[in-house]
Chain A
């Protein structure tokens, strides 16, 4: 279990780390690492491998991200789940969370333009039967995402040789 936890932490920091290197770090052979990975994927512990991208530095048109607070009328028997499922199936929805507090669902939308996001909210999200209201917040700047700080890393200020 301990090795499994360590492997997951390593992959969370660097999803591209090859099995051989993971093996070296965790004192396991490559095959054992691959078997552990296969098992974790089968059990849906690892759901995918992705990169954290700073799109502002990539040479591509920048999209917009919005976080939308949604108030929902829960349904008998399924609560919020049925509405949540109808929402997360839209490809524009990047994340969806059930929240406590003044609203029920937090929806993260990515679109090419503000107009596109606006259309999604007004035409698809707001029109769902159980959606009572929406409040849209556009993201202005990313400072930190998924534990990764955007921008320049802290330099290594250490001397070249020290006691």
Chain B
């Protein structure tokens, strides 16, 4: 019998499977659960966007597009970034349409990080960041945040982890899994350290449209940051287009050009029909997007208040659609809490430790669920906590 694992690369062997996957397998094996474990909108893509994509198929647009994406889409993205986030990019050579923001993150790292380079990853963080750094031989260095300061990263925490191997820092605000946003002043103080140490920033702003109490501050819009930032975003969250796998990366031309080399060999181009849908999203999708955001904000208010009522300490997330309550008062680890809650009350939440060590003691609850599901989930969580 052949031992196929002998063929796996060292890099693949070294990284661990996603903790989310493990929990997915567990939750999927059960019936009648209320899921707060879903990292995507509970809306179906608005019809006009779906219709635009169907129409592109009807018209026979089924061939490759330019490697960097349809010129019309890149122009729309550049216009959108300028209007919404005051960042300016040339659609011809500074914007690349990718297969989801996930590919954009991978491109950004592969184009810039050498083996042995250190990349600072603010934790708790999206599950793929650290493994993607490891896969290219880089070294992910966690920069912890905590509930005490609302999961905001401080200049001191960054400073403490900078070495002469540090190449870049990866920021994600609004954050998955904490929902934390950073103010302009807070980001400015982070930017000062970044400039002082001549670092590159990978700024994942996929949740940028989903801020509830103050407008989003885009990292490349800060003074002197455009030239050292790779902006990552996409259509999944704001336009409820997760399954379309469509994202983009915007960066100064030399960096974009480096990323485009990888993209053209590895992916060729993003899906053509999805790109036509995305053009419609940017041209005519803002009204529906704002309605969705309003609804998430209302649910945020409801859900976070309800969590506090049942005794779970929870900071108020300023964006995305996640609450990240502390479950330390229960005396359980986050994995124990999530597992026991699932078995006892059939509510699926994601254990915080899958988002890095800083996530231990918390669980991620997505409030992209219907109001009645949220109400039921809180009732069940209340019963569960009382039973401990």
Residue among A6, A24, A159 making CB contact with B302, cutoff 8 Å: A24
A25 to B302, CA, bound (A): 5
Q: Is A129 an interface residue (CB 8 A)?
A: no
Contact, CB under 8 Å: B38 / A24: no
CB pair B42–A161 under 8 Å, yes or no, is: no
Nearest B-chain residue to A22, judged by Cβ? B298
CB of B376 to closest CB in A, whole Å: 14
* A160 contacts the other chain (CB 8 A): yes
A160 touches B37 (CB 8 A): yes
* Cα distance A27–B126 in the bound complex, in angstroms: 29
Check if B20 sits within 8 Å of A27, measured CB to CB: no
B23 touches A161 (CB 8 A): yes
Contact B128 A163 (CB under 8 A): yes
Give Cα distance in the complex from A156 to B348, angstroms: 16
Question: Could you tell me the distance in whole angstroms from the C-beta of B332 to the nearest C-beta in chain A?
Answer: 19
Q: B299 interface residue, CB < 8 Å from A? A: yes
A156–B305 alpha-carbon span in the complex (Å): 26
**B44 contacts A by Cβ under 8 Å:** yes
- The verdict on A21 contacting chain B, using a C-beta distance below 8 Å, is yes
Q: Does B180 contact A (CB under 8 A)?
A: no
**Complex-state Cα separation, A18 to B116, whole angstroms:** 58
Nearest A-chain residue to B18, judged by Cβ: A163
Of B23, B27, B44, B294, which is within 8 A of A6 by CB? B294
Interface bracket on B = 20 to 34
Q: Counting chain B CB atoms within 10 Å of each CB, which of A10, A24, A26 scores highest? A: A24
Q: Say whether A161 contacts B35, CB under 8 Å.
A: yes
Say whether A162 contacts B24, CB under 8 Å.
yes
Q: How far is the CB of A32 from chain B (nearest CB, A)?
A: 14
CB-defined contacts of B18 to chain A, threshold 8 Å: 163
> Of A9, A25, A27, A160, which contacts B38 at CB under 8 A?
A160
Chain B residues, Cβ within 8 Å of A159: 24, 28, 38
> Is B183 engaged at the interface, CB distance under 8 Å to the other chain?
no
Interface check B62, CB cutoff 8 A: no
Chain A residues 145 to 163 lying within 8 A of chain B, measured CB to CB, are 154, 156, 158-163
Could you tell me the distance in whole angstroms from the C-beta of A117 to the nearest C-beta in chain B?
Answer: 33
Q: Which residue of A lies closest to B35 (CB)?
A: A160
B39 at the interface (CB under 8 A from A): yes
Beta-carbon contact of A162 and B348 below 8 Å: no
User: What residues of chain A lie closer than 8 Å to B126, measured between beta carbons?
Assistant: 163
- Given the interface pairs A154-B44, A156-B42, the reply to whether A161 lies near B350 with Cβ below 8 Å is yes
Could you mark each residue 266-303 of chain B with 1 if its beta carbon is under 8 Å from any beta carbon of chain A, else 0?
A: 00000000000000000000000000001000110110
Q: Mark contacts of A121-163 with chain B using CB atoms, 8 A cut-off: 1 yes-contact digit, 0 otherwise.
A: 0000000000000000000000000000000001010111111
**Is there contact, CB below 8 Å, between B38 and A158?**
yes
When distances are taken between beta carbons in the complex, the residues of chain B under 8 Å from A158 are 35, 38, 40, 42
Judge if B222 is at the interface, Cβ distance under 8 Å: no
Compute how far the CA of A161 lies from the CA of B348 in the bound complex, rounded to whole angstroms. Answer: 8
* Contact B301 A26, beta carbon cutoff 8 Å: yes
The residues of A that contact B299 with a CB separation of less than 8 Å are: 25
The contact of B24 among A10, A21, A160, by CB within 8 Å, is: A160
Minimum Cβ distance to chain A for residue B224 (Å): 32
Q: In the assembled complex, how far is the CB of residue A136 from the closest CB belonging to chain B, in whole angstroms?
A: 32
A151 to chain B, nearest CB (A): 15
A27:B301 contact, CB within 8 angstroms: yes
Residues of B contacting A24 with CB < 8 Å?
A: 301-302, 305-306
**A–B pairs, 13, beta carbons within 8 Å:** A6-B294, A21-B302, A24-B302, A25-B302, A158-B35, A159-B24, A160-B24, A160-B33, A160-B35, A161-B348, A162-B24, A162-B37, A163-B20
Contacts A158-B40, A160-B35, A161-B37 aside, 12 further interface pairs with beta carbons under 8 A come to: A9-B294, A21-B371, A24-B302, A24-B306, A25-B302, A26-B301, A156-B42, A161-B348, A161-B350, A162-B37, A162-B38, A162-B40
| Interface pairs A-B: 6 shortest CB-CB | A161-B37, A25-B298, A161-B24, A160-B27, A24-B302, A162-B39
